[in-house]
């Protein structure tokens, strides 16, 4: 596989800008791109030329970062993609969004799961158009495409004595802020073995409406509450997400 296009999106919601090279930063993403954020599983969007051509699209139309000459169908969650010295962990398929129908009527429905693959940067490196991209065997845990499954898998990894705010949860799941409203339903449907009591509100306050015994469970793990809030000292930091 070979790189045939590179783009960055300096501001969310804006068109991408073509680049001759991209600087990838470990754990963070693409330098200068609006999706560069520690802890996010959607730091890079990868597409290939045949997919764009199949839907009558030009390079950059889907706000992708890296376009390959071929091979998108071979990518799987958990695999690694090496381009030069840079190394990308493939996470999950990018979901269609309303923007697509502004390109072509009905594109959301037609494109389905061919929107591209998302990834995280696990090793620094500069990549350029013309570079060879090598797909490596799976070496990371795969991530589900749906947000609910990612929620359950991620919550299971929150260590005892730490909490994750709903803001950081949105980041870790790689979803939009619209998902704040479904978090309570995810909590309600969680298996009793999952430590959902380690999820707190944006300001660290408890979610007692959905987790009536949350204070007791957190106290048992050594977390001290102040005015029914968890101190930021006990927040699990995004640098540890998806490690």
pLDDT digits (tens, 9 = 90+) for 187-215: 999 999 999 999 999 999 999 999 999 99
Average pLDDT, the chain: 93
- Whether the model clears a pTM of 0.75, i.e. scores above it, the answer is yes
Cα-Cα-Cα-Cα dihedral sign, residues 149, 154, 157, 162: negative
In sequence order, what are the residues at sequence separation of 6 or more whose Cβ sits closer than 8 angstroms to the Cβ of residue 25? 31, 36, 121, 124
In the chain, what percentage of residues exceed pLDDT 70?
100
pLDDT digits (tens, 9 = 90+) for 112-169: 888 999 999 999 999 999 999 999 987 899 999 999 999 999 999 999 999 999 999 9
3-state secondary structure of 1: coil
- pLDDT for 97 equals 82
Distance CA 217, CA 234 (A): 14
Distance CA 205, CA 179 (A): 19
3-state secondary structure of 94: coil
């Amino acid at each position: 596989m070979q790189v045939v296009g590179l783009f960055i999106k300096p501001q969310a919601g804006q068109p991408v800008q073509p680049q001759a090279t991209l600087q990838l930063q470990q754990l963070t993403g693409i330098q200068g791109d609006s999706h560069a954020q520690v802890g996010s599983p959607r730091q890079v969007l990868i597409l290939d030329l045949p997919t764009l051509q199949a839907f009558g699209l030009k390079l950059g139309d889907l706000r992708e970062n890296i376009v390959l000459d071929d091979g998108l169908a071979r990518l799987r969650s958990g695999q690694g993609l090496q381009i030069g010295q840079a190394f990308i962990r493939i996470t999950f398929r990018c979901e269609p969004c309303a923007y697509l129908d502004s390109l072509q009527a009905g594109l959301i429905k037609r494109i389905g799961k061919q929107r591209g693959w998302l990834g995280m940067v696990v090793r620094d490196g500069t990549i350029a158009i013309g570079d060879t991209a090598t797909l490596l065997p799976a070496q990371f845990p795969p991530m589900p495409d749906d947000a609910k499954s990612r929620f359950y898998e991620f919550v299971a990894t929150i260590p005892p004595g730490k909490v994750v705010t709903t803001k950081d949860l949105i980041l870790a799941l790689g979803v939009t802020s619209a998902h704040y409203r479904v978090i309570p339903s995810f909590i309600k449907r969680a298996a009793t073995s999952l430590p959902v009591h380690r999820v707190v509100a944006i300001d660290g306050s408890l979610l007692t409406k959905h987790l009536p015994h949350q204070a007791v469970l957190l106290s048992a793990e050594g977390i001290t509450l102040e005015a029914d809030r968890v101190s930021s000292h006990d927040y699990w930091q995004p640098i540890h997400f998806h490690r």
